[in-house]
Amino acid sequence: MFNSLPKQLTSALLLAGVLSGCSMAPTYVRPAAPVAGSYPAAADGQAQLEASARGWRQFFPDQRLQTLIAAALENNRDLRTAALNIEQARAQYDITAADALPHLEGDFSRSRGRTPAVQSPTGQSFVGTSYAVGLNMTAFELDFFGRVRSLKDAALASYLATEEARQSAQISLIAQVAQAYLAEQSFAEQEALAQQTLDSRLEEYKLGKMRFDVGASSALDLRVSDTLVQSARVSLSTLARQRGQASNALTLLVGKPLTDLPASTPLLDQQIVTDIPAGVPSDLLNRRPDIRAAEQQLRAANADIGAARAAFFPRISLTAGIGNASTSLGNLFSAGSRTWSFVPQLALPIFEGGRNRANLTLSEVRKNLAVASYEKTIQTAFREVADALVARGTLDEQLAAQDAFLNAQQERVKLTGLRYKNGIANSTEMLDAQRDLFSAQQALIQTRQLRLNNAIDLYRSLGGGLNETTQAAKS
Q: What angle do CA 156, 159, 161 make, to 5 degrees?
A: 110
Residue 187 near residue 243, CB atoms below 8 Å: yes
The CATH code for residues 31-100+144-313+368-461 is: 1.20.1600.10
Q: What is the pLDDT of residue 7?
A: 57
Q: What is the pLDDT of residue 50?
A: 78
Considering only CA atoms, which of 415, 412, 405, 425 is closest in space to residue 224?
425
Residue 241 near residue 48, CB atoms below 8 Å: no
Q: What is the pLDDT of residue 90?
A: 87
Render 169-218 in DSSP notation, one character per residue.
Answer: HHHHHHHHHHHHHHHHHHHHHHHHHHHHHHHHHHHHHHHHHHHHHTTSS-
The share of the chain scoring above pLDDT 90, in percent, equals: 42
Report the phi/psi class of residue 215: left, alpha or beta, with left for phi > 0 and alpha for psi in -120 to 50. Answer: left
138 CB contacts (<8 Å, ≥6 apart)?
103, 105, 319
Q: What is the pLDDT of residue 15?
A: 54
Q: What is the pLDDT of residue 14?
A: 54
* Sequence ranges of the domains in the chain: 31-100+144-313+368-461
Write the CA distances from 13 to 97, 99, 316, 323, 369, integer angstroms: 16, 13, 12, 19, 37
Instruction: Return d(Cα 239, Cα 186) in angstroms, integer.
Output: 10
Q: What is the pLDDT of residue 410?
A: 92
Q: Amino acid identity of 111?
A: S
Q: Give burial (CB, 10 Å; 0-12/13-18/19+) of 238.
A: middle
Q: What is the pLDDT of residue 473?
A: 46
Q: What is the pLDDT of residue 326?
A: 82
Instruction: Tell me which residues of the chain have a pLDDT lower than 70.
Output: 1-22, 41-49, 471-475
Q: Which pTM does this prediction carry?
A: 0.83
- Beta bridge pairs of residue 127: 114
Q: What is the pLDDT of residue 344?
A: 85
Q: What is the pLDDT of residue 143?
A: 83
Q: What is the pLDDT of residues 227-286, one digit of tens each?
A: 889 989 999 999 999 999 999 999 999 998 888 889 989 999 999 988 888 888 888 888
